[in-house]
Structure 1
Amino acid sequence: MIFESHSGLLRRLLRGLLSVIIVVAALFPIFWGLMTSLKPTRDIVQFPPSLLPATVTFEHYVTIFKAGAFGFLLNSLLVSAGTVVICLGIGALAAYGLARFEFPGKRAVMVAIIAVMSIPVASLLIPTYTLIAEIGLVNTHIGLILVYSAYQLPIVIWILAAYYQSLPIELEWSAMMDGYSRLQALWKVVLPLSRPGLIAAGLFVVVFAWNDFVVAVTLLSSEETRTLPIGIYNFLGFYGREWGPLLAASMVSTIPLLVVFVILQRYFMAGMTNGSVKG
């Protein structure tokens, strides 16, 4: 008995140690980039490098915002928000149909969704650009939002369809027996219970739309419409690297996503179905 208790304690300690190592390995590059972005230029290139800045300065952040980083940030927010709204709005309805209704060709539709998800985005750039140019939406945020939505809608449908299938269908039957229509049951019963799934799918979309460079640099050409990843690319330079502004722009791009994940991470572990049955 004593041996088993010591063995269990050892396993917990090893798991805790492994978790700490993983967290440190994941967050150290971000911490290093943040500390380096706060150093004067002369301290960034010194050798050996120091982890913490001897002198804290915000000159690099001033530089990038003078260069238009605030506009790039707003463009990224607009594009990401628009893509999430379209993907969740259409994906929630499409996923519900796949999860709750039987119809000819349903399996083929599911297979097609998986097939579309497996296509590399880079291979679609030329036909995508041609199509967007034909409808006059090149160099517009609306065009980029539509393209992102088309790319991300399959994965949203797949995630939400699997989530709906995990919900007890008896909850919807009970709602419809109380006089709700099918759409009312979806809106007032299924979607509130599907909040963790909706958030998970939305985060997939946000990460793609926020971080994408290849599609954005292909469709956007003017300074006014560029998103943050393109703005970061501007600080790479042709003859050298502007490490201070480059890292400052990277932090401006990274920190909002980290904040979103910290705020919403509790929903990932929510026992949504169990909670609905108990309630």
Structure 2
Amino acid sequence: MSVSIARKKAGRQAGIYVAAAVLAVFVLGPVFWLVTTSLKPRSEVFSSPPRFLPSDITFANYADVLTTDTMLFFANSVIVCLGTTVMCLAFALLACFTLTRTGTRGRKPILVGVLVSQLLPQAVLLVPLYRAADTLGLLNSRFGLMVAFMTFTLPVAIWLLRGFLMGIPMELEEAARMDGLSEFGAYWRVIVPLAKPGVAAVGIYVFFMAWQDFMYSLVFLTDESKRTLPLGVLSLIGSHTIEWGQLMAVSALLLVPILLVFTFAQRYFIAGITAGAVKG
């Protein structure tokens, strides 16, 4: 009987490994093709039959796209995404103070409104946001784009941070207030530092969402000097030809910040997501 159970367990584990391998190929296959295409000479991009690995690795595509304009687009993306992340976390933490640490009435309707706002497609908000930004003089500015990004990142940040902060005992805050801190001071100096894994996880999420955006950047930015890196890809797509090697090289550059952020903040991200999954 024990042998049969061991065989069934081994079979389940083998099935899990096979499914994980298939999923990894499905997810990482396009990334592998992107990187290898960026390292191919132009003559091999459309070779038949296709070559999965370049016969001669070349960095000419990267040399062609690493121009002053590309570096400017890259810097714009970093500025906009970091600014969006900082502002979104600041407003989300302030909102969560009211929603988790005070007895303010109407908290449930506010949370329902935050959740319902995520049911609207982002494209639906483009026209009213564009008109509002035009009225406020925020069009064609990095700050205006940051504000636009917050319309779809802030509600998620509030919802996720609330679930994490609700799991921190109120006794800690009460002890801090007995030591002389104000209500908000106890929240900011005691509760928020304890929520560092959750804050980091939400910050990574906001950064990823802002970094990969194309639609809002295309609508809100018209000055070429203020374009983000995803918009810079457009210059490689012409009316009659597409520089696929260079396009893949720029796409590979888009992956670098995401990989770096996730590599250095992985433990905070996993800890925040795990804690947020069981608290609330």
Normalising by structure 1, report the TM-score. Answer: 0.91
Tell me what 1:108 maps to.
109
* Greater Cα offset, 144-153 or 36-45: 144-153
The CA distance in 2 between the partners of 1:184 and 1:100, in whole Å, is: 12
Please, which runs of 5 or more residues in structure 2 have no aligned partner? Answer: 276-280
Q: Is the 8 A contact 2:98 2:104 kept in 1?
A: no
Tell me what 2:249 maps to.
248
How far the C-alpha of 1:189 sits from its partner, in A, is 2.4
Tell me what 1:277 maps to.
none
The CA distance in 1 between the partners of 2:132 and 2:61, in whole Å, is: 39
Q: Pairwise mapping of residues 41-120 of structure 1 onto structure 2 (< 5 A)? A: 41-66=42-67, 68-120=69-121
* Greater Cα offset, 246-255 or 148-157: 148-157
Q: Pairwise mapping of residues 1-279 of structure 1 onto structure 2 (< 5 A)? A: 1-66=2-67, 68-270=69-271
Q: Is the 8 A contact 1:193 1:273 kept in 2?
A: no
Q: Secondary structure at the match of 1:55?
A: coil
Aligned residues: 274
Q: Is the 8 A contact 1:64 1:249 kept in 2?
A: yes
The CA distance in 1 between the partners of 2:40 and 2:273, in whole Å, is: 45
Tell me the amino acid that sits aligned with residue 83 of structure 2.
Answer: G
How far the C-alpha of 1:25 sits from its partner, in A, is 1.8
Tell me the amino acid that sits aligned with residue 172 of structure 1.
Answer: E
* Greater Cα offset, 95-104 or 74-83: 95-104
How far the C-alpha of 1:273 sits from its partner, in A, is 10
How far the C-alpha of 1:201 sits from its partner, in A, is 1.4
The CA distance in 1 between the partners of 2:182 and 2:24, in whole Å, is: 47
Tell me the amino acid that sits aligned with residue 18 of structure 2.
Answer: L
Q: Secondary structure at the match of 2:227?
A: coil
How far the C-alpha of 1:190 sits from its partner, in A, is 1.6
How far the C-alpha of 1:161 sits from its partner, in A, is 0.8
Q: Secondary structure at the match of 2:180?
A: coil
How far the C-alpha of 1:272 sits from its partner, in A, is 9.7
Q: Is the 8 A contact 1:39 1:56 kept in 2?
A: yes
Cα distance 1:110–1:25, how it changes in 2: closer, same or farther (>3 A)?
Answer: same
Aligned-residue Cα RMSD (Å) equals 2.0
Please, which runs of 5 or more residues in structure 1 have no aligned partner? Answer: 275-279
The CA distance in 1 between the partners of 2:157 and 2:30, in whole Å, is: 30
How far the C-alpha of 1:266 sits from its partner, in A, is 2.1
Tell me the amino acid that sits aligned with residue 178 of structure 2.
Answer: M
* Greater Cα offset, 152-161 or 19-28: 19-28
The CA distance in 1 between the partners of 2:212 and 2:62, in whole Å, is: 20
How far the C-alpha of 1:103 sits from its partner, in A, is 2.2
The CA distance in 2 between the partners of 1:68 and 1:51, in whole Å, is: 30
Q: Deviations over 1:185-218 (max 9, x none)?
A: 2233222221222122112211221111111111
Tell me the amino acid that sits aligned with residue 220 of structure 1.
Answer: L
The CA distance in 1 between the partners of 2:5 and 2:69, in whole Å, is: 61
Q: Is the 8 A contact 1:38 1:56 kept in 2?
A: yes
The CA distance in 1 between the partners of 2:92 and 2:64, in whole Å, is: 40
Q: Secondary structure at the match of 1:237?
A: coil
Q: Is the 8 A contact 2:85 2:203 kept in 1?
A: yes
How far the C-alpha of 1:51 sits from its partner, in A, is 1.1
Runs of 4+ in 1 over 4 A off after TM superposition: 271-274
Q: Secondary structure at the match of 1:270?
A: helix
How far the C-alpha of 1:162 sits from its partner, in A, is 1.1
Cα distance 1:149–1:17, how it changes in 2: closer, same or farther (>3 A)?
Answer: same
The CA distance in 2 between the partners of 1:149 and 1:39, in whole Å, is: 39
Q: Is the 8 A contact 1:168 1:273 kept in 2?
A: no
Q: Is the 8 A contact 2:176 2:190 kept in 1?
A: yes
